Structures are given as C-alpha cells and as structure tokens.
Amino acid sequence: MDQKPEDIAADLADIQAAQKGDATAFRRLVEKYHSYIYNLCRRVTLNPQDAADQTQETFLSFYAHLKDYQPGLKLSNWLYTIALNQCRKQLRRKKIVRFFSLSHDEKLHEPPASGSSPDQGIRRDQSQALLDKLVVSLPESYRPVFILRYFEDRTEEEMAQILGITIENVRVRIHRARRLLWEKHGSLIKEYL
Amino acid sequence: MTDLTEQQQKSIEDYLEGRIQGEDLLRVEKWLEENPSGRDYLQFLKKLKDLSPSASLVVPPAHLVDKIMDRVPVSRRQMTAPFPWVKPGLALACMVLALFAGLRWFHSFRTSSLDISFILNAPGARQVELAGDFTGWKKISLKQDERRWKVRIPVSTGKDYQYAFILNGRVLVMDPANDSVVRDKHGDFYSVLRLPGRQTRESIGMKQTAFLKPMGIILTSFLSLCSVSSAFADTVVSPEFQEKFKSEVHEAVLSPGEARKVLEQANRLASKGVPEATLEDVLHQSLVLGKASAAEKALNRLDLLVSQGLASEDAGKVSIKEIREEVKAIEKTQPEDEEMEKSLEKGLANLPAAGTQALTQDQLEKKLELKQREWEEQMEQEKEIRYIQHEASERAP
C-alpha cells in the first residue's frame, strides 16, 4: 500500500474551509482520497462502473454531512465507513433487482476484466489475480473486513471503527473469512506456494 | 482441509498475530511441529499476508474528480435553508389545526343531542301527548299517522329521563316499546330513556348512519321485540305454539318481561299435561283484552282448576269465562262518558296493564306538576354538586 501517513491537520483545515463553502479545499480532499475510495469500492462491488458510481456517492454524502466529521478520526477511515455503507446499499439494491429479473447477472460475480476496464495499462501480476479471486469467493458480509485487512492493511482497532463493530467481532469475521478461504482455496494457495 | 477445529485455527491465527506468549507459545509451536495440517494452515495465513503488499492501486477512471465536483452543490450550499423557521412553523400550524379538529370531534360526543322519535300504537285514541323530564313535564302533542302516534324531538345526551304518554288527556301510560321502567317514590311507573354521555350513538342501539338516526326509538323497540324470542330458549311447548304465541304477544304489545312471564307459566302448565290447544285458547282470549295481567290471571285460574282435578279442557273454558266476566265487571265500575270509554278501550287494547292509569284531569295535572317540581329539584341539586366540584378543583393546587 503506497499510502503516505495522513496529514490530519491539513485535512481538518480543508474540511473546515469546505464547510464555509470553499470548493477548492473540497476538491483537494477529493483528489487526495478518490483513488483509495474507488479501489475499495471496486473490490467490494466487483464492478468498475458501480465502483465509480459509489465513489461519487461517497463524496456527495461526505459533503452533505461535513459537520458530522469527528476531528480525531483519520479522514480515510471516515471516508471508508461512508464508502462501505454506500457499497452495501448498492449491493442490496442489486440483489433486489437480481431477485426480480429473470436473467441471472453472472457478471457481478466475475473479477473485473483487465482488458476492457479502466484498469488498462496496469500489469496485474499473479498474486493480484489470486487475491481478486479470493475476494470474489467471499460472501458479501465478510468482504469488507477481508479487504480492509489484506488490501488496506488496517489495524483491528481501525477496522472496528470503520465497520462500527467491536474488535472481537472483527476478529471473528476475519477468522471466518480465512476459514472459508482455507476450505475453498487452500489447495490453490498451496500450489501457488 | 477441514481436519482442524475452529479453536485450533484460532490459536494458529493468534500465534501468527503475536497474541500468544509464554508457555502457551511453546505449546503451540510444539503442536505445530507435530501436526502437518496445522503447519499448512500457518503457511496459508502467511501467504495471505505476503500477498497483500503486492496489491497495487488501480487507477480510477479519468474525470472522476470532475464528475464528483460537478455534483457537489458547493455554490448553492448556503441557499438550502433560507427560512429555517418555515418548517417548525408549518408543523406547529398543523398541530394546532389537528388539535382543534380533535376537540370539536370529541366535543360532539360529549354534549350532542339526539333526535328521538317517540311512537305509540294507539289507533283508538283521540289525542296522545308526551311528557317527561326532557320536556320539563310539559305536554307535547303527538301527530297521528294511520295507527301510530308520533313525535320527534331533540334530547341532549348524558342523562336518564323519565317519561310517559298521556292518552285522551287523562290516561297516563308507559311506553310499551321501552323495556326499562322506573317506579318513583309515589308508586307510579314511568318509562326511562337512557342517553349516556360521551358515548357513540351505537351504544344506545342506534347506528351513526344519517339514514338510521331518526329511526332511533323504532329501532330500540324492534330490538326489544327481538329479545322476546330469546325467552323461548328453554321451553317445553312446541315450536308452532311458540310461533303463535309470538304473534299474539306482538299484537298485544306486551313488554319482553311480561311475555316471558306468561310464557313461563304456559310452560309450567304444559309440563303438567295441559294440552296446547287449551293453553292457546286461554291465552288468545285473555290476550285479546290486551293485558298481560289478564293472561296471567287466566293461567293461574287454569292451574288451580287443573290441580283441583278438573279435566283440562273444561278448566280452560271455565277460566276463559271467568276472566271475561271479571274484565266486564272492571269496565262497569268505571262508568264515564260512553264515547270516551269506547275510544279508550280501543286505545288501551294495545297497551300493557302495568303502568297504565286512568285519572281525572285534575289528578293528571297534579301528577305532572309534581314530576315537574321533582325534576327541577334534581337539576338544582346537580347544579350545586357541579358548583361544589368546581370550587374543590379550584382550591386544589
């Protein structure tokens, strides 16, 4: 993860400016964080178009509730919380649509195609492909915790904060995600070794 | 891949995360050496950890930032709520309106008055009047409509009212369609109209429908007639007899209580072996006179004669004869204006015996005056009580 340590003071100044209607300050925040949010959304929704949409929704929601931001928190974690909620909403909506539509939307369960998506030009190595595969096989409830742990490298405390659950709950969820992967893809990872 | 228990997996995870220390650490390490599947799981976890740093960021689609900034309403932000008091103001106005509407609705139940129709079936009467608490015991004339005499007046709810009909200006009579009766302190019977306050119109047997509302008393009298049929629940007599009896009762306009009494007596006689035909004869003859007391008397006489050993058919004839003679004797003892007597007899034919009193004009006027004074006294008392209650509530903190 090539994330630099966050400049909490600078972020806070920008948020306060944005609250007073300073568009450039808000734009700075969007530019700084949008790619992280986009990647998170892409991994949760498994769909580049949904990811772009949910990134937009995340920042809109963030803007609408600027005054709710608690200054002590890392802004990225704050945004992750919003993004994960937005993605969950989107997945639920899709589930309903899928339930009522006659044709089963198989594409949803496929990892993003490397050729046609905006991910073009980035060479994805074997391990990246493997990780994507693992994420896809996880149920939606365990996906966020797994992504935060293995892609975003968050501590258990941070995960608990982002997801709004206890640390014990975080541990249980990670354990269940690992257990599922071990049962499903244990041999695959062994081969990779 | 599933030969590890959940607890073992958790221990391995804790071992990898460095959450196990001291003796436990040694024990887990020893266990891992002995168990290849445990080692496999540890390897798997390590690999997962190794994979993560290699995950690189995917470049988001171009112009995503611009798209976001286009949708953020920065310039309009200050305009979203120009009049912050508008919303609470509207809510308050709605609440006040709702409160008023609710109070009006509630009030309509508390102090409303109902239009009540008073109906008397007295085809032979020359004049029918109504007097009661709700008129201050002043007489109100009823209008004749073929066989029936009718009047419709508004009566405010929340009280019980005594009332009676006055036939030909000098016969005080209870409402035959009304089952609730009171006997006042002078020993006279009056019908009671119960109009509870704070209650819906359904509670006094009236539908709230505009069409049914004026039918008030008609409906209640119908209901009281219906309740006669419930008196047949445990009877010995045959259904045919019951049907005939019902129509007799209907014609004689007995109150449900009287009908029940007569039927019980008939039942008792039937169980003693008196044939139904005899009972029918006796009842028919005595009920034609329109008096429950006559029927009761006839049946009592029949009972006595049968128990004295007379054949039931003969006993029936004797009792009918006796009852006729008796009624004639009563009629002879009150010789008055002949024409009036005739019309009275016709009018009274449909009325219950109890609570019907033939009086002179003076007696009637005195009675009404007495009732009027009593009612006024009662109202005065209620006023006083209300005043005391009001004072008490004012004194309370």
Q: Is the CB of residue B182 less than 8 Å from the CB of residue B162?
A: yes
Written as six digits, the tokens of B264 are: 């019980």
Written as six digits, the tokens of B357 are: 């009193």
Name the fold adopted by A123-193.
Answer: Arc Repressor Mutant, subunit A (1.10.10)
Written as six digits, the tokens of A60 are: 């809109």
- What torsion, rounded to 10 degrees, do the Cα atoms A104, A108, A113, A119 define? 150
Using H for helix, E for strand and C for coil, what is the string for chain B? CCCCCHHHHHHHHHHHHCCCCCHHHHHHHHHHHHCHHHHHHHHHHHHHHHHHHHCCCCCCCCCHHHHHHHHCCCCCHHHCCCCCCHHHHHHHHHHHHHHHHHHHHHHHHHCCEEEEEEEEECCCCCCEEEEEHHHCCCCEECEEECCEEEEEEEEECCEEEEEEEEECCCEEECCCCCCCEEECCCCCEEEEEEECCCCCHHHHCCCCCCCCHHHHHHHHHHHHHHHHHHHHCCCCCCHHHHHHHHHHHHHHCCCHHHHHHHHHHHHHHHHCCCCHHHHHHHHHHHHHCCCHHHHHHHHHHHHHHHHCCCCHHHHHHHHHHHHHHHHHHHHHCCCCCHHHHHHHHHHHCCCCCCCCEECCHHHHHHHHHHHHHHHHHHHHHHHHHHHHHHHHHHHCC
Q: What is the pLDDT of residue A80?
A: 92
Q: What is the pLDDT of residue B221?
A: 46
Q: Which residues of chain B have pLDDT under 70?
A: 1-2, 52-56, 74-86, 106-112, 196-238, 247-256, 287-293, 309, 326-356, 396-397
Q: What is the pLDDT of residue A84?
A: 92
Report the half-sphere exposure of B348 (CA within 13 A, side-chain side). 22
| Distance to chain A for B85, nearest Cα, Å | 20
Instruction: Work out the number of other CB atoms within 10 angstroms of the CB of residue B76.
Output: 9
| Domain extent listing, chain B | 6-54, 234-359
Taking alpha carbons only, the member of A162, A166, A165 closest to residue A75 is A162
Q: Is the CB of residue B38 less than 8 Å from the CB of residue B12?
A: yes
What pLDDT band is residue A119 in, cutting at 50, 70 and 90?
very low
Tell me whether B81 touches chain A (CB under 8 Å).
no
- List the 217-236 stretch of B: residues with Cβ below 8 A of A: none
Q: What is the pLDDT of residues B278-294, one digit of tens each?
A: 777 777 777 666 566 67
Q: Is the CB of residue A88 less than 8 Å from the CB of residue A94?
A: no
Cβ pairs A/B, distance under 8 A: 128
- Is pLDDT above 70 for A138? yes
The whole-angstrom separation of Cα B193 and Cα B216 is: 11
Nearest-CB residue to A38 (from B13, B48, B60):
B60
Give strand ranges (E) for A47-161.
none
Nearest-CB residue to B57 (from A21, A39, A51):
A39
| Domain extent listing, chain A | 1-121, 123-193
Cα of A5 vs its chain's centroid, Å: 19
Cα of B8 vs its chain's centroid, Å: 71
Q: Is the CB of residue B190 less than 8 Å from the CB of residue B181?
A: yes
Q: What is the pLDDT of residues A11-38, one digit of tens each?
A: 888 888 888 888 888 998 999 899 889 9
Q: What is the pLDDT of residue B229?
A: 40
Give domain A1-121's CATH architecture.
Orthogonal Bundle (1.10)
Q: What is the pLDDT of residues B129-141, one digit of tens each?
A: 888 888 888 888 8
- Is pLDDT above 70 for A108? no
Q: What is the pLDDT of residue A56?
A: 92
Question: How large is the average pLDDT for residues A77-88?
Answer: 91
Cα of A38 vs its chain's centroid, Å: 7
Taking alpha carbons only, the member of B123, B293, B120, B128 closest to residue B221 is B120
- The pLDDT mean for chain A works out to 79
Cα of A122 vs its chain's centroid, Å: 19
- Is pLDDT above 90 for A83? yes
Report the length, in residues, of chain A. 193
| Distance to chain A for B3, nearest Cα, Å | 10
Tell me whether A94 touches chain B (CB under 8 Å).
no
| Distance to chain A for B68, nearest Cα, Å | 5
Tell me whether A45 touches chain B (CB under 8 Å).
no
**Residue B43: CB partners within 8 Å, gap ≥ 6?**
A190, A193
Q: How does DSSP classify residue A106?
A: G
Tell me whether B99 touches chain A (CB under 8 Å).
no
Residues of A in contact with B56 (CB under 8 A): 2, 122, 124, 128
| N-terminal to C-terminal alpha carbon distance within chain B | 79
> What is the identity of the amino acid at A33?
Y
Question: How large is the average pLDDT for residues A95-99?
Answer: 74
- Cα angle, residue B89 at apex, residues B83 and B94 outer, rounded to 5°: 140
